[in-house]
Structure 1
Amino acid sequence: MRRVAKLSAACIASAALAVTATACGSTSSEKESSSSSADGKGVKVGLAFDVGGRGDRSFNDSAARGADKAKAEFGGEIKELTAKTSDTEADREQRLSDLAEAGYNPIVGIGYAYAASMTKVAARYPKTSFGIVDSVVDGKNVNSITFTEEQGSYLAGVAAALKSKSKHVGFIGGVDVPLIKKFEAGYLQGVKDTDPKIKVDTQYLSHGSDTSGFASPDKGKEAAQGMLDNGADVIYTAAGSSGNGAIEAVAGKKGTWAIGVDSDQYNVPGLAKYKNSILTSMVKNVDLGVYDFVKSIHDGKPLSGTHTYALAQDGVKLSPSGGFIDDIQAKLDAAKKKIVDGSIKVKSAP
């Protein structure tokens, strides 16, 4: 059950640039890093990354940018722990507990997989503020950071439909969980609302508790290659670092487009040699959510409840980098307006 809380004016001000604020309701062999400011002051931020961690060029990197920005402004320290695809609930719980025991505050779980473990750990450390991205955890000391992925993905679907010459597009999801189904649902609706005759191929890279689909570029490349061979000429991938492989496959075939996700992948240095094949990216501003949360701790007014970053405030958006959607921007703007004013209701499940 979602808790209702009253947001202070300061909280709303810090989030107003890009957030719709709605108050409601170790066993590690993974990568670790930490950095401190010279004066030792500031905020000690604990980041528990999803699989792939910093350097995935997508979801985790977006979260990292938010923490980095906060550290640059406020000083302090960042401690990073990264999940493994073999993680159990006990592993995730231990990771969060280790950060809390070490005095990190806030602690941010990057990804829905931390929901159950954070529910337990936050209750044990009531004086520590916890944040979770992509899930809702009920707790007085928990800030749930969510996004309207389906809205941004709808626009990605419109772009795909308008740019496809073969009238055949594709969607690749990392894991077939409700979160990624939101990306699929919005994309399918955007495609079909634009051109009902377009064929859409859909494939998931892993299933259930197997999270390898978020960190397997080889699987992403293979899936994309199959779609390309089948005639698709625009492929949207919501699969963490697996999407890097899909982009590579698309770049290998002339006349096809990839649509990136989470970060503006056209501007990611590690993908530079493929950027002319990246039509656009459905940018999910995880960095804003993480930054706002850390700032609230720095200001002494910790955010809690649920904060949803929506299309209306550019919490999700399509990137114009590369200029490849300039010719259809007016149609994309029209679609965005209809979503924002409620004329178009975007489904969150396919």
Structure 2
Amino acid sequence: MKKKLGLMVTAMLTAGTLLAGCGTSDEGKTSGGDKKDFKVAMVTDTGGVDDKSFNQSAWEGLQKFGKENNLEKDKGFKYLQSTAQSDYKPNLNSLIRQKYDVVFGIGFLMGADVETVAKQQPDAKLAIVDMVVKGDNVANITFSEHEGSFLVGLVAGMQSKTNKVGFVGGVNSELIKKFENGFKAGVLTANPDAEVLVQYAEDFNKAEKGQQIANTFYQQGADVIYHAAGGTGMGVFTEAKNRKKNGEDVWVIGVDRDQHEEGMPENVTLTSMVKRVDQAVYEVSEQAMNGKFPGGKIVEFGLKEDGVGIAPTQDNVDKDALKSVEDYKKKIIGGEVKVPKTDAEFEEFKKNLK
């Protein structure tokens, strides 16, 4: 039986994240009332449902929930794909009009639209992944991406032969900064002499831009690149595979899902930082169906809850690196190591490295 993730639900206390009506009597109600009539849907961001990453993971979770509860595809569970940011609000409203009990917005880029729609449709139940918005009818799903990124950073730092690694980000934002700073902290913890190259594509759906950045990094001597760039990251794999065919010893660290297959047949995936968006979507859907929708709350998935970590495919990871991962996982969960999320926290972390 598959282990379920634990949920850490946090009330929002600061003015910037205070959600109206948190803990009110509305919590625990479902709009459908009858499980057999329960319907759940999601709206992708512009990366699309087959991005091999974030959106695909969310859809896999929704499909699993639908199948296990005997829901019919496109009637009991479905997705709407967004090709531009202007599609977000119409797609969300369309699913609400179709009487879906919970509508997920996948990705922080949808935050403003989810908040607007939640205000306009107070009887609707929405969930946003990777963002916190105001509204007692919105469940906020977040992850400790910095913790998982630290672990793959350890692997990169230990296995780099050139002492130079790269990070390719999608959109420069508070969210992706968590990936970057956690990764850099892990790299330097394992290898204080390493250099980390960083560049943002400013897009999650431009594989050609990802390939261009990867080409530059590899030319500069990096032999491991970690991407947190959705579909843009597919270009990093393309560049690595092309170079591997020519005999270069280069690697990619995937993100969100186990991206081992994206590195084949050239076998360029060193490991991946898995982020269980699939299980988060599944569990919030289940909560809602059972009358426990976490509206107005943050539902956080971290290392402790098995919400982030390194991928199960570990064939290319050295045994010493895996041991270091396990050691630091315990230290992070135990509070002995605090992984930085922001640039300021990273600078402070770096000062304390011995």
| Superposition TM-score tier, normalisation by shorter sequence | 0.7 to 0.9
CA contact (8 A) 2:164 2:195 kept: yes
Q: Distance in 2 between matches of 1:156 and 1:197?
A: 17
**AA paired with 1:20?**
M
Q: Distance in 1 between matches of 2:61 and 2:201?
A: 28
2:255 pairs with one of 254, 257, 261: 261
Q: Which runs of 5+ in 2 are unaligned?
A: 13-18, 20-34, 344-354
Mapped pair 1:343 → 2:331 = no
Q: Distance in 1 between matches of 2:332 and 2:7?
A: 16
Mapped pair 1:79 → 2:78 = yes
Q: Which residue of 1 aligns with 2:47?
A: 52
Q: What is the CA distance between 1:78 and its match in structure 2?
A: 2.1
1:215-239 deviation per Cα after TM superposition (whole angstroms, max 9, x unaligned): 1111111111111111100000000
Q: Distance in 1 between matches of 2:220 and 2:51?
A: 28
Mapped pair 1:333 → 2:326 = yes
Q: What pairs up with 1:1-350 in 2 under 5 angstroms?
A: 17-24=5-12, 25=19, 41-76=36-71, 77-85=76-84, 87-88=85-86, 91-206=87-202, 213-253=203-243, 254-266=248-260, 268=261, 271=262, 273-274=264-265, 276-304=267-295, 305-327=297-319, 328-350=321-343
Q: Distance in 2 between matches of 1:124 and 1:157?
A: 43
Give the CA RMSD over aligned residues. 1.9
Q: What is the CA distance between 1:47 and its match in structure 2?
A: 0.8
SS of alignment partner, residue 313 of structure 1: coil
Q: Which residue of 2 aligns with 1:35?
A: none
TM-score between both structures, scaled by the size of structure 1: 0.84
Q: Distance in 1 between matches of 2:265 and 2:212?
A: 17
Q: Distance in 1 between matches of 2:5 and 2:169?
A: 29
Q: Against the structure 1 CA distance between its residues 260 and 342, is the aligned structure 2 distance closer, same or farther, given a 3 Å change threshold?
A: same
1:112-138 deviation per Cα after TM superposition (whole angstroms, max 9, x unaligned): 112111112112222221110000122
CA contact (8 A) 1:148 1:311 kept: yes
TM-score between both structures, scaled by the size of structure 2: 0.83
Q: Distance in 1 between matches of 2:250 and 2:314?
A: 15
Q: What is the CA distance between 1:178 and its match in structure 2?
A: 1.0
CA contact (8 A) 1:51 1:84 kept: yes
CA contact (8 A) 2:241 2:263 kept: no
Q: Which residue of 2 aligns with 1:5?
A: none
CA contact (8 A) 2:59 2:79 kept: no
Q: Distance in 2 between matches of 1:326 and 1:290?
A: 33
**AA paired with 1:130?**
L
Q: Distance in 1 between matches of 2:206 and 2:65?
A: 30
SS of alignment partner, residue 160 of structure 1: helix
Q: Against the structure 1 CA distance between its residues 293 and 345, is the aligned structure 2 distance closer, same or farther, given a 3 Å change threshold?
A: same
CA contact (8 A) 1:216 1:241 kept: yes
Q: Distance in 2 between matches of 1:162 and 1:238?
A: 20
Q: Which residue of 2 aligns with 1:36?
A: none
Q: What is the CA distance between 1:158 and its match in structure 2?
A: 0.7
Paired residues in the alignment total 311
**AA paired with 2:79?**
E
Q: Which residue of 1 aligns with 2:28?
A: none
Q: Which runs of 5+ in 1 are unaligned?
A: 1-14, 26-39, 207-212
Q: What is the CA distance between 1:275 and its match in structure 2?
A: 6.3
1:175-196 deviation per Cα after TM superposition (whole angstroms, max 9, x unaligned): 1111111100101111112222
Q: Distance in 2 between matches of 1:112 and 1:183?
A: 14
Runs of 4+ that moved beyond 6 A = none
**AA paired with 1:239?**
A
Q: What is the CA distance between 1:272 and its match in structure 2?
A: 5.9
CA contact (8 A) 1:122 1:128 kept: yes
